[in-house]
Each structure stands twice: as C-alpha cells, then as structure tokens.
Amino acid sequence: MSQMSVTDLLAELVAFDTTSHRSNLPLIEFIEAYLADYGVASRRVLDDSGAKANLYATIGPDDRSGIMLSGHTDTVPVTGQTWRVEPFQLTAENERLYGRGTADMKGFLACVLAAVPAMVKADLNVPIHLAFSHDEEVGCLGVRTLINDLAHHPQRPAACVVGEPTSMRLATAHKGKLAVCLKLRGKACHSGMAPEGVNAIHAAARLITWVERKAIEKAQTGPFDERFAIPHTTLQVGVVQGGTALNIVPQDCRIDLEIRNVPADDVDMLLAELMSEASLLEAEMRRIHPEAGIQMERLSAYPGLSMADDEALVGFIVALLDDCTRERIGYGTEGGLFQQELGIPTLICGPGSMDQGHQPDEFVTHEQLARCETFLRRLVIALEASETPALLSKGALA
C-alpha cells in the first residue's frame, strides 16, 4: 500500500466522531486494518458493553519489554460550541489543521501511525508498543481494562510516553484528580411554610462554601509544588442542580466537585474532611426531617504523575527532542495510572497545545506534527542501537 502522510492519517482520524458517549469501534477498526497492512498484529481489549475498545500492538521483538507510545482515541463534545469550521472534517488553513481532536490527541496518533512503516522496517533491539485507549476524557476510565490486561502480560512495557499535547516539551509530572457527586435530600414544602421543610439547596450552599474556603486555604498554606504553574491543590464545584419552583422549598440538590492535588497533598484526607463536614450538616437536617441525608458518589479519579528530572528515562527522551525544557502540566493523563498500577515509568510529550484542546476550532500546527515525526524517527533509531538493551538493564527505561 502507498504510505499515508501524517496529514492524511489525521484527516481519517478526525472524521470519526469519537466523542466519549459514542463507540470508538469504527476508528479502532481503521487502525487495526492499517496496522495489518504492515503486518502488525493487534488485539482489542473491550469494555463490558462491547461497544468500545482499547487497542494494543507490539512492533519488534516480542521476548522483551520496550517503550509504549500511548494515546486516547476519544474526544470531548462539540455540543454548545460555535465552530467556524466543520469539527469532524480536517480543515487546513495556512499552518493550522483544524478539527476536533487535532490537538487532544489525534495529532499524536496520526504521527505514530505514520511512523509505523519505519518501525516495521527497522531492526529494533527494543520493541515499540502501541496503546490506544477509550474514555480518557471522562476520567481515564477506559484504559483500566487495558491496564488489567497488561498486568498479566509476560512482557509489559518498560517505559511509556503518553502523547498528550505539550507542544513537544517533556512533562515529568501532573496533578492527580478526584471528582465526586454529593446528593442532598431535604424535605419539600410550600415556601410560605419554609421553616417546616429542609432546603436542600441551602444545605448544598454550606458545602459549597466549605469547598471555597478550603480552596483559599490551599492557595495560602499549601502544600506547594513550585514545579506547577498553579503550585497548590485546587478545589472547585462545577455543577449545581436543584429545585423545581420558587414557591417550593427544594427537596433535592446535587453538586459535583473536583480536587486536583499536587503529589505532596493527600486527596483522601481532603475527602474525609469534606465528608466530616457533610456528616455534621446531615445531623442538622435530620433534626427537622429524619429521612433527610447526604450521599456521596465517586465520579472518577486518577493519580498524579511524578518523575524526578534526573531519572535516566528523562535524559533518554530529552536527548531525542529539540526542546530540552522539562515541565509540569496542570491537566491529568493516563500516565499516573500506568505508573501507579503497573510500575511503568511514564512521561508526557506530544504535539499541539492544551490551549487549543477542548476549544471550538481546535487546531494543531504543521510545525508541531513535524517535530513529533522527528522525535519518533529518532526514537526508532535509538531503539535499533545495539547498546539499547544494556541501557534497559541499567534501569534507564525500566
């Protein structure tokens, strides 16, 4: 088959609407067929519904561990956004390529797929593993079945690069995240008899105020990690839903909140403090109505990622990049799960900027894609080198 360019592949990938609430199987089928054309076998790791899948493949020797290139196939919605261009059709204007997922993160996937012919032709001493996941955008949910699968694999990867958009600068750390939903149940009554009811929105406001105060406290007292642009843990309420009419004391209210913690902060302790506050509030509510209450549901969670700048893997990857900057990013990735659940040293580096990710008229530049292609080309050459296995055994990648 004739080799496809990065732009051609990106156009194919963007054309698949892989918004998280949709199946990603058509895109997975495209990648499977593409890899098969180059003689690369892949395997699906399905979710419970069978409507979504992760995809995993190895290029090179299968009797040893290698470097995994990881990316998610899903995207955030375009609903409610005003796009100047068609979001699921690649549009080229000057140096920019527009479309949903171009930056986050189909640009990286396109670069990896474009490099497959070179990977196959290379005499790799260390294999390259490809891992493409689903449902990253809704709390890094989909990759967990792949992680469970890899946990039982005889040759799990020795290292990982997640291609989230970092403008091709190496990110060695990111914050963890915990998202929870609090459902408050009060007692409805006519607003003219308000003291006889339990106002669920008023109760929720008490907890929202607690979250705000704790966020201010973290900003003032830390713990701090100056490696991050926002060097402390953040808390915020993102969703509030409650009430039916102004003349009815609201019986129900729901609040969704998140905690994004620096590595030194204990997110479970913060959650315990919140639930202690909720328990005191619940006792007050039940003095008026015994069936009032507060329930907590975990929506999603993923751990932070942290690697020291002097780790051998960091030096190995930096040597393959044009930009030697090492940074910490404020958004989360699947990298923390690879590191925590499988013990795989993981770094983040990919084309594009998260300034464009999730935005209308999302784009990646030709220059960013070219830099990613250069990185992957250098990686292939490095993994052909006869000294690379020794590098592995010394712990640079393991």
| pLDDT value of residue 71 | 98
Q: Is there a catalytic annotation at residue 282?
A: no
Spell out the residues 6+ positions from residue 249 whose beta carbon is closer than 8 angstroms to its own. 186, 187, 188, 189, 190, 191, 193, 194, 197, 198, 199
Contact in structure between 359 and 110 (CB atoms under 8 Å): no
Q: pLDDT below 50 — which residues of the chain? A: 394-396, 398
* % the chain with pLDDT above 70: 96
Contact in structure between 89 and 12 (CB atoms under 8 Å): no
Global pTM value: 0.87
Q: Which is the catalytic residue, given 12, 32, 74, 225? A: 74
Which among 208, 180, 141, 206 has a CA at the least distance from the CA of 267?
Answer: 180
| pLDDT value of residue 395 | 46
Strand partners, 53: 46
Residue 40's identity, in one-letter code, is: V
Q: Is there a catalytic annotation at residue 265?
A: no
| pLDDT value of residue 388 | 65
pLDDT tens-place string over residues 81-100: 999 999 999 999 999 999 99
- Domains of the chain and CATH, by start: 6-174+304-393 (3.40.630.10), 176-302 (3.30.70.360)
Q: Which is the catalytic residue, given 12, 136, 258, 373? A: 136
Strand partners, 306: 173
Q: Is 340 helix (H, G, I), strand (E, B) or coil?
A: helix
Q: What is the layout of strands, in order, in the sheet containing 234-242? A: 234-242, 252-261, 176-185, 293-302
pLDDT tens-place string over residues 185-199: 999 999 999 999 999
